[in-house]
Amino acid sequence: MKLATLKNGSRDGRLVVVSRDLKHAVDAAAVAPTLRAAMDNWSRSEPGLQSLYQALNAGTQAGAFAFDPEQAMAPLPRTHQFVDASAFLNHGNIMERAFNLTVKRPEGVPILIQRQSDDFVGPCDDYPVRSWEDNCDYEGEFAVIVDDVAMGSSAAECEAAIRLITIINDVSMRRFVLPEAQMGFGFINAKPATVFAPVAVTPDELGDGWKDGRVQLDLHLSRNGEPVSHPNGREMDWSFGQLLAHLAYNRNLRAGTVLGSGTVSNKAVSEVGSACLAEQRALEVLAQGAPKTPWLTGGERMRFEVKDAQGRSIFGAIDHQFVAASR
């Protein structure tokens, strides 16, 4: 099943069910007005949403209309909790080697950080930047949205609570990353609003691409129309279930919690490329002593997309432009 939220002037938008080919949609108000409402009552909402989805794909659903991703908000425009991981240790290893960083990282303990969850950005919305001197960067990630998870749940129980999967551009302002990290209390100015794909899908939509709690598909990135990378999600050092279990060790996770994977990074980076500029620039430091790839600047456009084995887009594309912020 594929779900999206369309703009209607409200903070949470209106929930629609989207066809598998992403061409059509139907209003889901008869089941749940918003995705927040659907997540709060998933066991009750899911059958009705599935019924709409099946009829939409069969071409028998009344009220179907053309799906326009430019009208989409983030699938869950705001939520109670967004946590981001750094689940691809290859990314951290590259950064540490390039810049001689010393990181206290206990063996086997995943890296997680609480993030902003009150203002997600839609897939085609312009992204406002206060200053280009803040070293604007993109970060391609996978993300999951979960149902209620009880404190102390196992990794298997947590994985079973994953209801939806999507992709994100977790924008970073690199000028602030190291200073804020050294303060020892998490990121603020380094991590502004996160951008979401137009569609979130149930795990079954990925077929063999969802295995061992990981999205084992390529994430394709392009900058200004030019392909830059296509790393695969299979190399996560912790599965989403394991990350959620660590997060839920001594707390309940409420329905609608979003968990990001962290920058997708593969050991064969020379072949598949990097999902963020910081990693690309670090590789340039290691290879030639200095970075050469510039940070993002005004008017640049980024695109993120995942396709299935038949070349069909799964989540739709994040396709947005970076612009100077106006007050």
Per DSSP, helices labelled H in the chain are: 35-40, 42-58, 89-99, 155-160, 177-183, 240-247, 269-272, 277-288
Instruction: Report the length, in residues, of the chain.
Output: 327
Q: What is the pLDDT of residues 127-183, one digit of tens each?
A: 999 999 999 999 999 999 999 999 999 999 999 999 999 999 999 999 999 899 888
Hunting for tokens 């432009």 — which residue is that?
A: 321
Distance, CA of 18 to CA of 28 (rounded, Å): 10
Q: What is the pLDDT of residues 267-316, one digit of tens each?
A: 999 999 999 999 999 999 999 999 999 999 999 999 999 999 899 999 99
Write down the pLDDT at residue 182.
83
- How, if at all, do strands 14-18 and 2-6 pair? antiparallel
* Same domain flag for 270 and 307: yes
CA 203, chain centre distance (Å): 14
| Residue after which a domain boundary falls, among 67, 98, 115 | 67
Tell which phi-psi region holds residue 202, choosing left (phi > 0), alpha (psi between -120 and 50) or beta.
beta
Residue 293: CATH number of its domain: 3.90.850.10
* Same domain flag for 151 and 273: yes
Comparing CA positions, the residue from 215, 195, 192 lying closest to residue 203 is 215
* Same domain flag for 62 and 142: no
* Same domain flag for 112 and 248: yes
Distance, CA of 137 to CA of 205 (rounded, Å): 30
Distance, CA of 115 to CA of 113 (rounded, Å): 6
Rounded to 5°, the CA angle 164-120-296 comes to 110
The number of domains in the chain is: 2
* Same domain flag for 301 and 268: yes
Query: CA dihedral defined by 308, 296, 227, 187, rounded to 10 degrees?
Result: -30
* Same domain flag for 243 and 98: yes
Comparing CA positions, the residue from 68, 170, 45, 180 lying closest to residue 120 is 170
Domain annotation covers residue 216: yes
**Do residues 252 and 150 lie in contact, with contact meaning Cβ atoms separated by under 8 Å?**
yes
Domain annotation covers residue 171: yes
Q: What percentage of the chain exceeds 90 in pLDDT? A: 92
Burial class of 27 by CB neighbour count within 10 A (0 to 12, 13 to 18, 19+): middle
Distance, CA of 294 to CA of 170 (rounded, Å): 18
Q: What is the pTM for the complete model shown?
A: 0.97
DSSP-derived letter for residue 297 is -
Tell which phi-psi region holds residue 306, choosing left (phi > 0), alpha (psi between -120 and 50) or beta.
beta
Write down the pLDDT at residue 106.
83
| Residue after which a domain boundary falls, among 42, 67, 92 | 67
Write down the pLDDT at residue 81.
97
| 54 contacts: CB under 8 Å, gap ≥ 6 | none
* Same domain flag for 183 and 311: yes
Domain annotation covers residue 221: yes
* Same domain flag for 98 and 180: yes
* Same domain flag for 29 and 129: no
Q: What residues does 149 pair with on adjacent strands?
A: 253
* Same domain flag for 47 and 85: no
* Same domain flag for 59 and 100: no
* Same domain flag for 60 and 95: no
Write down the pLDDT at residue 276.
97
Rounded to 5°, the CA angle 110-263-181 comes to 65
Hunting for tokens 């196992």 — which residue is that?
A: 154
Domain annotation covers residue 72: no
Write down the pLDDT at residue 72.
98
Q: What values do phi and psi take at 177, rounded to 5?
A: -60, -55
Write down the pLDDT at residue 34.
98
| 183 contacts: CB under 8 Å, gap ≥ 6 | none
Which structural domain, as residue segments, surrounds residue 113?
Answer: 77-324
Write down the pLDDT at residue 102.
73
Q: What is the pLDDT of residues 219-248, one digit of tens each?
A: 999 999 999 999 999 999 999 999 999 999
**What strands lie across the sheet with 301-305, from one edge to the other?**
127-129, 318-324, 301-305, 220-223, 226-229
Write down the pLDDT at residue 98.
86
